[in-house]
Structure 1
Amino acid sequence: MSRAWRSVCLGLLLGAACATPSSTRPTPSPTVQKAQAPDKAPEKAPEKSAPEAPAQAPSQPPSASAAAEAASRSDFEHAVDVAQRGEWDAAERGLEALLKTNPSLDPAWTNLGVIRERRGRLDQAEQAYRKALELKPDQEAAWDYLARLYCRTGRATNIEAELRQKLETRQEAISLRAALAFVLLHQQKLDAAATEAKRALKVDERYVKAMQVLAQVYFLEKKYELARMVLENALAIAPRDAATHNAMGVVQLTLQERYLALSSFKRAVQLRPDFAEARNNYGALLNEAQDYPAAVTELEAAVKSASDFVPARLNLGNAYRGLGQFARAKAEYEQVLKLQPSLADALFNLAILYLDLEPEGLDTLERFKTSIAFFEQYRGLGGKDDRVDQYLKDARKGIDKEERRREREKRAQERKAQKSEETSPPATPPPSSAKLGTDDKK
């Protein structure tokens, strides 16, 4: 019997690909966009279009000649393409080489920071973001990623103070105001976040970044139709923004529009193949539809893009379990617990894995006992799934059934041995060993 496991389809996602406000990860921006044009299509091929946060700001590479500028742009875009394929070493080397010849290329510094953050080198990532802002103080992407990095590392109040100070003398700087709105959202200061988003929209009513933040405020306030309306407006302005499609999918999922949600997540993935959170959401719904091979494809790609992405690893374990691949599912759940030891859902899924699958070489009694142990650990961490009582009964019944089977088998073997003894012919006595007589005997 197959049982339901715990899966993770993420909440509303904005800007750079983020799972939750405390564990956001950036994604390399695919193009160098022209200033003040978040609503325009990028200059590269369509399939590598909108960054998750449609940057207002990266300027075109300064150069001494048109040929040099074209070369810088080509090298930059190649490095980003490589990064989007998950080839972090090659992408980092390419950007570092580019910056040696063109150190004033602010988008390259931002994307170098993105790669370093993805690889866990957070101090170096911050340095790169700040170098980009030193070159272009209003670069939206750099402010967005820097704000998220501070939130991710527990320094939301620090970046909030910095942004407020800068806005005192730059009231019209919507890139700063959008970053502040996100930071306030992260801290659950919903009214303040909405206020800042609306202030940005007063400056530019087509500012998609502010719309995204405002939509998330409405979502958290359970005003789902309002959130949908704002996201629809954002898509009318920037139809190739992957983050907006992903956010729309979460709203649709909440409104029980699963088919539409599946379509929105799929579109987000098409627009940004390295968008780990969109792939996770798409993969989670494919799991629910029991399309496990397709789910594995999406979730393996998500993990490749972000190896520390806990929800994607949890869902990938579920997909492997659906395919009956015990060892792979177990490995993913165990990796989840290494990354987040207090995550009860991983223990729940391990318990289900041991309860349902019968891998070759694993003793049946040991399997059921291990399942029970994981369920008990799950409850010890505060897990409250109502199904656990029934699952524990199933495991104990399994133990009882296996013990009775073994007892029957033992008795059968004993009867067989006894019967074999009773039907065997008596043993033939050995020949006599008496001495033979001799002629000397009288």
Structure 2
Amino acid sequence: MVNRLTKAVWILFPLLLMIYNFSQANPVDQAKKLNAKGLELARKNRIDEAIEKFNHSLEVNPRDGETYVHLANAYLQISNLNAAEVACQQAKLLLPDTAEVYATMSQIFHRRGELEAAKKEYEQAIRFDSNVAEYHYHLANVYHSLGQFEAAKKEYLETLNLSPKSPLVYHNLGEIYYMEGKLDQAIEAYQKSLSYSNNGQNTKKRLNEVILEKQDQIGKEILRNQLA
């Protein structure tokens, strides 16, 4: 009887071990599946359902920093900035060296109009990953809004190093060159913008305005020379 029982235990032991291992791994796998489903729903713009899936995933595995980032971005899409910040703070605790966390937090501050805070977060994002054009572009926009045009120009140019066919970046560069009185460079930047997008009506308008201003400037210069 004892031998039969021992034999049965040895036969069942691998199966029991497999069931135990599966039960231990299952919560993480379940959380990953819920997170993946949340991302799928977010891509379909079913944001409320996506948020529900992300929260469920975090109930199963509350140590998943990436899911907190996804949750924060989902809250951003419905402009729930307070909830987005709470989720992002949790992501920071779990992923303190991850650029995407700081980029997401910077978007929250930017949407609130807290530009100095947004600037610091974008700078941190770039410190952890300087090869993402989007980070440089958004930081440039913050600098632009703060009136720090030289810093903005530097970041726009860095954006173009990483993503050289961006009409919006060229348009914004044109605006800075214009404010600096560099009309030739402004015209060139607007033309570059239009070469990558034929739908830039505002860019076309600005280009025509600056060309007319440049022509007027040349005409006045000719007149001054004639009168000298």
TM-score scaled by length of structure 1:
0.40
Match of 1:296 in 2: 119
Match of 1:332 in 2: 155
In structure 2, relative to structure 1, the CA distance for the partners of 1:254 and 1:398 (3 Å cut) is farther
Distance across 2 between alignment mates of 1:391 and 1:235: 49
Give yes or no for contact 1:246–1:264 (8 Å, CA) kept in 2.
yes
Distance across 1 between alignment mates of 2:173 and 2:114: 21
Match of 2:59 in 1: 236
Amino acid at match of 1:381: Y
The offset of 1:325, in angstroms, is 2.5
The offset of 1:312, in angstroms, is 0.9
Give yes or no for contact 1:274–1:301 (8 Å, CA) kept in 2.
no
The offset of 1:276, in angstroms, is 0.6
Amino acid at match of 2:33: A
Amino acid at match of 2:26: D
Distance across 1 between alignment mates of 2:83 and 2:205: 34
Match of 2:193 in 1: 378
Alignment partner of 2:74 out of 248, 251, 255: 251
Distance across 1 between alignment mates of 2:170 and 2:209: 17
Match of 2:26 in 1: 204
Unaligned runs of 5+ in 1: 1-171, 173-199, 359-363, 418-442
In structure 2, relative to structure 1, the CA distance for the partners of 1:288 and 1:222 (3 Å cut) is closer
Match of 1:214 in 2: 37
Distance across 2 between alignment mates of 1:262 and 1:392: 40
In structure 2, relative to structure 1, the CA distance for the partners of 1:221 and 1:288 (3 Å cut) is closer
The offset of 1:233, in angstroms, is 0.6
The offset of 1:322, in angstroms, is 2.4
Distance across 1 between alignment mates of 2:31 and 2:139: 32
1:306 equivalent in alignment to 2:121: no
Distance across 2 between alignment mates of 1:398 and 1:298: 39
RMSD: 3.2
Amino acid at match of 1:371: A
Give yes or no for contact 1:283–1:315 (8 Å, CA) kept in 2.
no
Aligned partner of residue 59 in structure 2, secondary structure: helix
Distance across 1 between alignment mates of 2:199 and 2:83: 31
Which of structures 1 and 2 has the bigger CA Rg?
1
Amino acid at match of 2:193: Y
1:225 equivalent in alignment to 2:48: yes
Distance across 1 between alignment mates of 2:127 and 2:43: 30
The offset of 1:227, in angstroms, is 1.0
Give yes or no for contact 2:136–2:159 (8 Å, CA) kept in 1.
yes
Unaligned runs of 5+ in 2: 1-17
Deviations 1:245-282 (A, max 9, x none): 21112222222334433443344334423221121122
The offset of 1:231, in angstroms, is 0.5
| 1:42-81 equivalent positions in 2, closer than 5 A | none
Match of 1:98 in 2: none
Distance across 1 between alignment mates of 2:89 and 2:201: 32
Amino acid at match of 1:284: Q
Give yes or no for contact 2:27–2:61 (8 Å, CA) kept in 1.
no
Distance across 2 between alignment mates of 1:284 and 1:269: 14
Alignment partner of 1:283 out of 106, 109, 125: 106
Match of 1:354 in 2: 177
Give yes or no for contact 1:249–1:264 (8 Å, CA) kept in 2.
yes
Distance across 2 between alignment mates of 1:267 and 1:402: 56
Distance across 1 between alignment mates of 2:109 and 2:176: 19
Identity of aligned residues (%): 21
Distance across 2 between alignment mates of 1:263 and 1:387: 38
Alignment partner of 2:145 out of 303, 319, 322: 322
Distance across 1 between alignment mates of 2:211 and 2:60: 58
RCO comparison, higher one (Cα < 8 Å, 6+): 1
Match of 1:32 in 2: none
Distance across 2 between alignment mates of 1:402 and 1:242: 57
Distance across 1 between alignment mates of 2:201 and 2:26: 49
Match of 1:27 in 2: none
In structure 2, relative to structure 1, the CA distance for the partners of 1:388 and 1:220 (3 Å cut) is same
TM-score scaled by length of structure 2:
0.72
Amino acid at match of 1:287: H
Deviations 1:216-255 (A, max 9, x none): 1111222222211101112223334321221112222222
